[in-house]
Amino acid sequence: MAPKFSYLLTTFLLLLFSIQLFIAQSEDHEGKTLKFLQSLKEVIKGQNVVGLNKVTGYLDSATIKNMMIPRCGVPDITNLTSSSIPTSSSHHKSKMFHMVSHYDFPEGTPRWPSSKYQLTYTFRSGVQSPNEEDMRSACSQAFQRWASVSQFSFQEAPAGSQADILIGFYRGDHGDEEPFDGPGMVLAHSFPPQDGRFHYDADEDWSSNPNMNQMDLESVAVHEIGHLLGLAHSQDSNAIMYATIPPGIIKRELTQDDIDGIHALYRN
């Protein structure tokens, strides 16, 4: 019965996704379909996907529900091994032991060099958005949250100047091989060190004081800055670095798991 149920759920999800593709504003339908099928394959195989707490080998209703929550566009599946960052701490996360920490790092554990702990950022959007000023304020506050628990400092650079980090609103296929999907699902994405790109999906309903149907600019900014600094998604649902966030939720405070992650990545 379980394989049959899994097959029916998979078929339903593929149909639902096909309908979403039909109404989406992005033109890169083929590319997104291939990405979806790849991620679906990894879920069914029981890979390390955020939100899949019990590996059964089947696509269950809890996993489907989690996949429908708006989320960061950065992939969940990573390749960290226990030797990626040498440490004697019992709180360090490895693939075999998950007793305390749930933070993670992308493959290769990219980091900013010590000569780049004073980072600059600026704003440059691919599309016009009514939320530009709110975005600036939200990002400024989000940067300060990370600065308060790390060795980093952040300073806004003048518009049009060179900066370490470039932030803006984009929609659909915007030239980074990670097209947005229109309203819902993928909210934003950013790239690990030392890339520096951070993109909001302009098709989402953004606010600095969200109602139950809007997404919080600062909550997403704190999360994406974590990726910019080198953190991957955490398995801790309370952490800023957890992959999903529902509409209307304000989640701006770094948790101990987030702090432990940035400290483990940038040890003195």
| Structure tokens given for 60 | 């269950």
Question: Do the annotations mark residue 134 as ligand-binding?
Answer: no
Computed over its alpha carbons, how large is the radius of gyration of the chain?
A: 18
The one-letter amino acid at 192: P
Any alpha helices (H) in 173-248, and if so which ranges? 217-229
Question: Do the annotations mark residue 67 as ligand-binding?
Answer: no
Asked if residue 252 lies in contact with residue 218, where contact means CB atoms within 8 angstroms, the answer is yes
Asked if residue 124 lies in contact with residue 202, where contact means CB atoms within 8 angstroms, the answer is no
Longest dimension (CA), the chain: 61
Q: For position 94, what pLDDT does the model report? A: 30
pLDDT in 10s for each residue of the chain, 268 residues? 444 444 455 555 555 554 554 444 444 445 555 555 555 554 444 444 555 545 555 566 666 666 678 888 787 755 443 333 433 333 333 333 333 578 999 999 999 999 999 999 999 999 988 888 999 999 999 999 999 999 999 999 998 899 999 999 999 999 999 999 899 889 999 999 999 999 999 999 999 999 999 999 999 999 999 999 999 999 999 999 999 999 999 999 999 999 999 999 998 5
Topology (CATH level 3) of domain 114-265: Collagenase (Catalytic Domain) (3.40.390)
Question: Do the annotations mark residue 72 as ligand-binding?
Answer: yes
224 has catalytic annotation: yes
Question: Do the annotations mark residue 174 as ligand-binding?
Answer: yes
Q: For position 196, what pLDDT does the model report? A: 98
| φ/ψ (deg, to 5) at 259 | -65, -45
The one-letter amino acid at 97: F
Q: Which of 75, 111, 254 is nearest to 241 (CA)?
A: 254
Q: Where are the domains of the chain?
A: 2-68, 114-265
Question: Do the annotations mark residue 260 as ligand-binding?
Answer: no
Annotated catalytic residue within 178, 218, 224, 253: 224
| Structure tokens given for 153 | 């400092």
Question: Do the annotations mark residue 223 as ligand-binding?
Answer: yes
